[in-house]
A and B are shown apart, each in its own frame.
Chain A
Amino acid sequence: MGFIRTHKNDILLIFALLILALGTWGLMLSSRKDGGEAVVTVDGAETARLPLSRDAVIIAGGGEHTNTVVVENGEVYVSEASCPDHVCIRQGPARYDGQTIVCLPNRLVITVSGTGGGPDAVVQ
């Protein structure tokens, strides 16, 4: 392409960024584990803790800012939301420890935490 002068530095910068990003991404994917529960927070305050082993549906938030959070087959996802962009719905399901689903307009965060495979309940 004649309209840009390509410097060797350009190629170096682009490859360095790509290798760094793909490397950490690969590391993240290979080290992930199934999570145990989904922690739902709205405005920084925890509103629900849903074990991924049990199917559930809750409506998080209040007033005009609501997200429908669904737990199904060991995964958590947002099925409906009042926000304009619906990024939270398009993010799809989360099941691994540390994974998050975010709805910026409604200030909702769902974080999968803990390791899976534990007991559903402990009777003392």
Chain B
Amino acid sequence: MKTERLALYGLLTSLALILSYLESLLPLSFAVPGVKLGLPNIAVLFALYRLGGRGACTISLVRVLLASILFGNLFSLAYGAAGASLSLLVMLLLKKSGKFSVAAVSVAGGVAHNAGQIIVAIFVLETRGLIYYLPPLCVSGVAAGLLIGLSAALLIKRADIGKK
């Protein structure tokens, strides 16, 4: 791996981690748990479009692992990893199809993240009733995903870092 690329991986991972921390300071869950902006996804989307799928996966999963160790626990690792993996899978597929812009990729990723966490919570807590959280989380995921996607699109266009 070239030094410049390695540095960019480190930079984006630490950026995603800081955004995780910022997000943990902003509690948005009122009626339904799990509502959040998804700020770290700005770094992940940037990596997806600048470094490709492998970069985005590395940065997202390292971010989840470090965030759980630093600000969470073993359970937040399970929820975070499930959400991040499903979200990455959906975003990779949508980006690969070439039919969607950054904003739509982000929206689908946000909704997939929430869905992944709910699915794991249903198994961990053995409570099927949690499926009722999915529709409101889907709506909040679309709104947050759109905001994050537009920010990421702006960055991908304007920030020269990592451009060949």
Interface residues of A (CB under 8 A from B): 1, 3-7, 9-10, 13-14, 17-18, 20-22, 24-25, 28, 41, 44, 85-88, 90-92, 98-100, 102, 104-105, 107, 109, 111
Contact flag A13-B100 (CB < 8 Å), given A87-B27, A90-B30: yes
Q: Is the CB of A4 within 8 A of B101?
A: yes
Chain A residue with the shortest CB-CB distance to B94: A13
- The complex places the Cα of A68 from the Cα of B31 at a distance, in Å, of 18
Q: Is the CB of B132 within 8 A of A7?
A: no
- The complex places the Cα of A91 from the Cα of B29 at a distance, in Å, of 8
Q: Is the CB of B121 within 8 A of A4?
A: no
Q: Per a CB cutoff under 8 Å, which of B104, B138, B158 touches A10?
A: B104
Q: Is the CB of B73 within 8 A of A105?
A: yes
- The complex places the Cα of A68 from the Cα of B72 at a distance, in Å, of 23
* Residue of A21, A85, A98, A109 ringed by the most chain B CB atoms within 10 A: A21
Which candidate, B10-18, B38-46, B60-68, B146-154, is the interface stretch facing chain A?
Answer: B146-154
Min C-beta distance of A94 to chain B, whole Å: 10
Chain B interface mostly: helix
Query: Inside 8 A of A105's CB, which chain B residues have their CB?
Result: 73, 75
Q: Per a CB cutoff under 8 Å, which of B76, B108, B125, B154 touches A107?
A: B125
Q: Is B32 part of the contact surface with A, judged by Cβ < 8 Å? A: yes
Q: How many residues of B contact A (CB 8 A)?
A: 40
Q: Is the CB of B129 within 8 A of A91?
A: no
Q: Is the CB of A104 within 8 A of B33?
A: yes
Chain B residue with the shortest CB-CB distance to A2: B157
- The complex places the Cα of A41 from the Cα of B139 at a distance, in Å, of 28
Min C-beta distance of B163 to chain A, whole Å: 16
Contact flag A104-B27 (CB < 8 Å), given A4-B102, A18-B139, A24-B135: no
Min C-beta distance of B148 to chain A, whole Å: 13
- The complex places the Cα of A42 from the Cα of B153 at a distance, in Å, of 43
Q: Is the CB of B132 within 8 A of A87?
A: no
Q: Is B111 part of the contact surface with A, judged by Cβ < 8 Å? A: yes
Q: Is the CB of B121 within 8 A of A1?
A: no
Query: Inside 8 A of A14's CB, which chain B residues have their CB?
Result: 104, 107, 142, 146
Q: Binary interface profile of B, 83-97, with partner A (CB < 8 Å = 1, else 0)? A: 000000000000000
Chain B residue with the shortest CB-CB distance to A11: B104
Q: Is B164 part of the contact surface with A, judged by Cβ < 8 Å? A: no
- The complex places the Cα of A85 from the Cα of B87 at a distance, in Å, of 24
Q: Is the CB of A28 within 8 A of B153?
A: no
Query: Inside 8 A of A1's CB, which chain B residues have their CB?
Result: 150
